[in-house]
Structure 1
Amino acid sequence: MLDQKNAPLFDALVRHAKGSVNLHIPAHRQGKAAPDILVQFAGKNIFKIDMTEIPGLDDLHNPQGVIADAQELVADLYGAERSFFLINGTSCGLQALLMSVCGHYDKVILPRNMHRSVMAGLIFSGADPVFIMPEIIPGFNFSAGFTKQNLKKILHEHSGAKSIMAVYPVFYGVGGDIKSIAEIAHEACCPLLVDEAHGAHLAFHPELPEQALALGVDASVQSTHKLGGSLTQSSVLHLKGGFLDFEKVADSLRLVQSTSPSYVLMASLDTARRQLALHGRELLQRALMLSAQTGSLLDEIPYIKVLSDRHLTAQQAGFDGASSNEISTRLPGAEVFDPTRLVINVAESGLSGYYIARLLAERYSVFIEMADALNLIVPVTIGTTEGDCLCLVQALRDIMQKELPHNMDKCVIVNYRAEGFCAALTELPQKAMTPREAWFAKTETTALVKAKNKISAEWVAVYPPGIPLLCPGEIISTDIIDYLRKVRELGLPTQGLADSSLSTVKTVL
């Protein structure tokens, strides 16, 4: 084991800041020419470590010194064979992984609830996606992981697939049976790549789900800035095992990462790793206790329920000798759950999650991570305070008392929920070309009502449940048009289309 008390990159930056002649970029010259109002707010020290590749500070794209040492410490801590700092977020890590394993028309098996950055990876690589549908959690209506049974079926149909990708855990804190999925992938000689954006903290407390790397995956990408304490846009990519060419991954990263990497972001990764190594367990113990306490208080508020393990189990008839009994089994795609993530269901109130999130921000200055039609998503992190949580509880209690008498007749968004949203997702659209082909094809703007049987040149996802309804290269059906028209009527948020009004869509000529 390496000495996790060290922070080699950060220490080198601090040493350099103590006295040197810097005739290089950035132009603010260690804060001397930085915007005065920014210096007044942030202080000068942050500018002193905003450096560039000079002797003694190493090079992210060819690390041999302090950056290499810092990345080695990360790999040692997480149990990886090799780890890479990412300063373009988890997005660039996912894209580099796809580019390292797939070329034009190579099959890659992906969950339909993939992050939108993966679409860019498909376009960059030219890979041909084979989508696997995630499971939907009843009552809460969000997409979880996919099952090993579905994976086996798709692998049988597409035996030449080059890789498999999974999301673990999903945005809502649940995850599938990654260990079994990794075993199935390896039996098919496929590497398993995991989007672990919401799992940078998992390795540091026994009450949390195991991190993906401990379950046999070949690569995971973690958003350290989300739940690990580093600065926004900083992430880490981990590699392990013999199914990936590590140098090919490094080459791919050089294509998608900035050639002017931020030393501030890299220093935040170095120091966040140190903090997690030295104090991660105690910080997460506090977060776990705070999450449990907050969840209990929220459950006491009428018309609110907080996602817990009991919502992720199903009662099935079993047979014990001569008598029948009920046994609890885990819902498919939700074998694990991160209890630090509060998923607050408000469906019974008749108010949408969108509406409540807006009230929280506008009336109470309480800003949450995300809302969908049925839920509020609130991560309790290593930095969350008891005061933060009490403000949330009090605000939601106040909203339920004041809003319900006036809004029970305004719940059309909530009432048009699981059945309506999931009906359009039971069958994948027909695919006519790869995302890359559609992206680079000549296109035209088509009125949505006239887009039947045309090939989409865009992607669109609707929340909930966050699964792309269309991807580039897929054929627009009557059902999809009707679905999007309903979404437009309800005013639900969408992502992907250039025309946010949902009146037109880009199609392939």
Structure 2
Amino acid sequence: MLSHLLWSSAPSALDQGRTPYVDALRSARAHVAAPFFLPGHKLGEGLPDAAAPILSCAAPYDLPELGELDNLFAPVGPLDEAQRLAAEAFGARRTWFLANGSSAGVIAAIVGCVRLAPPGARAVLLPRNAHRSAVHALVHSGAQPVWLVPEIDERTGIALGVDVHTTLHAALAEHGAGAACVLLVSPSYEGAVSDVRAAAALCAEAGVPLVVDEAHGAHLSLAPGLPEGALACGATLVVHSTHKTLGALSQAAMLHAAHTPRPAGAIGAVYAAAARALALDAAVSGALESVCSSSPSSLLLASLDAARHQIAGAGARGPRELRRAVRLAAAARRAFAREPLARPRLVALPAPARGVAATDPLRLTVDAASLGGGYALEAWLIENWGVYAELASVDHLTFVLGPGTRGAHVRLLLAALRGAQACEPARAREAARSRLDRTRLGAVLAGSTQLSTPRDAFYAQSEAVPIEDAIGRASAELVYSYPPGVPILCPGECVRAEAVALLREVRELGGTIVAADGELHTLLCLAEGAP
């Protein structure tokens, strides 16, 4: 029965102690005697000499989609079991493995919702500081963005989440009838967790799916001291970068469909809800095929199976390692509190507050302005101590702890920051110049007028114009700083003086700008007369 697929109360027959895809990959490798299939290195025998020292151990398992390894887009064997195990472990109704990163999951989730939306429902409500993959989804789907302005912490200038009770509530009241979905980003790069539970309730009332880009939150809900994850809070679709905060390899991610609440009332309502859920699954699956490789890496898929086992198998050490990371982060915070003058100031985001329901304790963000800014401090830490941050911005550095973090790592970080304070590594750049103009940042995050949809602007005839002459015209390109990949200009958006000034400022202060003209002499704009 259709409803049985979604609401069966039968006990699970799944064994979280199994690693079906890892086992299948190991078995397949042992069985291959003559590899007349792709890839061309043939189990590592043909690896380039320069790469052999670092790839020779993994290359024998770099296998294509052999029959015994299943098919990612039509799984019936070990991949199907591995994905069902992951869905159970993370509390999802269905899980898709992604070998193209969480970007592919964000795109597929939005495109799937747009495909399934009623005629005329072409709006996507999303924060102006969403990841660039969300803009790619707008281009791919042809949807019209409704930008949600995130809150900004007044003390630090760090962008937080969207305030659900005011900003999202007002946007749904105005645009809900024409909305294909709502996208929220939670947690943020610096660890601000949105009120997903309240957002899910608002979206359910409006009949609009809620997609949560939880790329930085695959670990949430998995250990004491960590905030609740989006799946537990009622989001419709949730994207995890399993490699970011768990044990998978880089580029390995998951997309989850949440359990559908069983409707009360007549059996017809139950069947209708089940049909909608399965239709969404089909729409998302189709979208994934359009943005994912037809040759997924067996190594990445195996790492996803193993990462799930690490947090859910019998005696799994993943939760223990996350608990240890929480303790180490707490110890680091105590050290900062004891020696406030011996290192840069630790940023404490407000929580709860507008746009923030909680914060991820595994993020440590320091104010680097007194040492010449985040870019200068990052370079000094790398050169002198081998300490690498996850995110450098104009004013801050963010360090992320995870299952693999050890006490020695944290002690080295603290010692390096003490050394930075003592050596003042960034005297070459005046501290006063290190701070980003928050007025400009706020203006950009407030969004600009969309002169065309991102899709129309992306495919329209364009021309490179001097950057000053671009002001007032429609951008034909996506321009962003990386990391974190948050757009400063979106296709179809009116170029404003504040955005141009912000781009120049970020670049002058050491940030990387990704644009057609990386020197920022020109911008691509819609050609005069282009629709």
Question: With structure 1 as the length reference, what TM-score do the two structures score?
Answer: 0.90
In 2, Cα distance between equivalents of 1:55 and 1:368: 42
Letter in 2 for 1:293: A
Partners of 2:392 and 2:483 within 8 A in 1: no
Which of 347, 351, 360 matches 1:338? Answer: 360
Q: Secondary structure at the match of 1:203?
A: coil
Q: How does 1:25-104 map to 2 (within 5 A)?
A: 25-44=38-57, 46-102=58-114
Partners of 1:168 and 1:175 within 8 A in 2: yes
Which of 113, 126, 131 matches 1:110? Answer: 126
Partners of 2:394 and 2:506 within 8 A in 1: no
In 2, Cα distance between equivalents of 1:293 and 1:275: 25
Letter in 2 for 1:56: E
In 2, Cα distance between equivalents of 1:285 and 1:39: 37
User: Does residue 208 of structure 1 match 2:226?
Assistant: yes
Deviation at 1:53, TM superposition (A): 1.7
Could you give the per-residue CA deviations for residues 225-261 of structure 1, whole angstroms, max 9, x where no partner exists?
A: 1111110110000002256511111111111110111
Aligned to 2:264: none
Which of 340, 346, 367 matches 1:306? Answer: 346
User: Does residue 384 of structure 1 match 2:405?
Assistant: yes
In 2, Cα distance between equivalents of 1:179 and 1:100: 22
User: Does residue 121 of structure 1 match 2:137?
Assistant: yes
In 1, Cα distance between equivalents of 2:484 and 2:433: 13
Partners of 2:440 and 2:499 within 8 A in 1: no
Moved more, 5-14 or 198-207: 198-207
Q: How does 1:132-281 map to 2 (within 5 A)?
A: 132-148=148-164, 149-158=166-175, 159-240=177-258, 241=260, 244=277, 245-277=280-312, 278-281=316-319
Letter in 1 for 2:160: A
Aligned to 1:412: 432
Partners of 1:142 and 1:466 within 8 A in 2: no
Could you give the per-residue CA deviations for residues 73-97 of structure 1, whole angstroms, max 9, x where no partner exists?
A: 0001011110000000000011111
Deviation at 1:480, TM superposition (A): 3.6
Aligned to 2:475: 456
Partners of 1:350 and 1:408 within 8 A in 2: no
Could you give the per-residue CA deviations for residues 49-91 of structure 1, whole angstroms, max 9, x where no partner exists?
A: 2111222111111100000000000001011110000000000
Moved more, 72-81 or 25-34: 25-34
Question: With structure 2 as the length reference, what TM-score do the two structures score?
Answer: 0.87
- Unaligned ranges ≥5, structure 1: 314-329
In 2, Cα distance between equivalents of 1:124 and 1:420: 29
In 2, Cα distance between equivalents of 1:418 and 1:100: 36
User: Does residue 296 of structure 1 match 2:315?
Assistant: no
Aligned to 1:430: 449
Could you give the per-residue CA deviations for residues 435-477 of structure 1, whole angstroms, max 9, x where no partner exists?
A: 0000000000010111232111123335899753321101123
In 2, Cα distance between equivalents of 1:356 and 1:154: 40
Letter in 1 for 2:526: V
Partners of 1:143 and 1:466 within 8 A in 2: no
Q: Secondary structure at the match of 2:293?
A: coil
In 1, Cα distance between equivalents of 2:310 and 2:362: 19
Moved more, 217-226 or 381-390: 381-390
Aligned to 1:23: 36
Q: Secondary structure at the match of 1:56?
A: helix
Quick one: structure 1 residues 260 and 464, their matched pair in 2 at CA, closer, same or farther if it must change by over 3 Å?
closer
In 2, Cα distance between equivalents of 1:461 and 1:32: 41
Q: Secondary structure at the match of 2:17?
A: coil
Letter in 2 for 1:142: I
Deviation at 1:47, TM superposition (A): 2.1
Deviation at 1:110, TM superposition (A): 0.6
Aligned to 2:380: 359
User: How many residues matched?
Assistant: 486
Higher relative contact order structure (alpha carbons within 8 Å, sequence separation ≥ 6): 2
Quick one: structure 1 residues 66 and 499, their matched pair in 2 at CA, closer, same or farther if it must change by over 3 Å?
same
Q: Secondary structure at the match of 2:519?
A: coil
Letter in 1 for 2:491: P
Partners of 1:301 and 1:397 within 8 A in 2: no
Quick one: structure 1 residues 264 and 433, their matched pair in 2 at CA, closer, same or farther if it must change by over 3 Å?
same
Which of 282, 292, 297 matches 2:320? Answer: 282
Quick one: structure 1 residues 466 and 331, their matched pair in 2 at CA, closer, same or farther if it must change by over 3 Å?
farther
Deviation at 1:24, TM superposition (A): 1.3
Deviation at 1:290, TM superposition (A): 1.1
Partners of 1:83 and 1:237 within 8 A in 2: yes
Moved more, 51-60 or 210-219: 51-60
In 2, Cα distance between equivalents of 1:142 and 1:239: 30
Aligned to 1:446: 465
Quick one: structure 1 residues 11 and 450, their matched pair in 2 at CA, closer, same or farther if it must change by over 3 Å?
same
Letter in 1 for 2:174: E
Partners of 1:141 and 1:465 within 8 A in 2: no
Q: Secondary structure at the match of 1:93?
A: helix
User: Does residue 370 of structure 1 match 2:391?
Assistant: yes
Q: Secondary structure at the match of 1:109?
A: strand
In 2, Cα distance between equivalents of 1:235 and 1:335: 25
Quick one: structure 1 residues 47 and 464, their matched pair in 2 at CA, closer, same or farther if it must change by over 3 Å?
closer
Deviation at 1:298, TM superposition (A): 3.4
Aligned to 1:327: none
Partners of 1:202 and 1:209 within 8 A in 2: yes
Quick one: structure 1 residues 464 and 153, their matched pair in 2 at CA, closer, same or farther if it must change by over 3 Å?
farther
Coordinate RMSD, CA, aligned = 2.2
Could you give the per-residue CA deviations for residues 167-217 of structure 1, whole angstroms, max 9, x where no partner exists?
A: 111111111111000110111110000100011111310210111000000
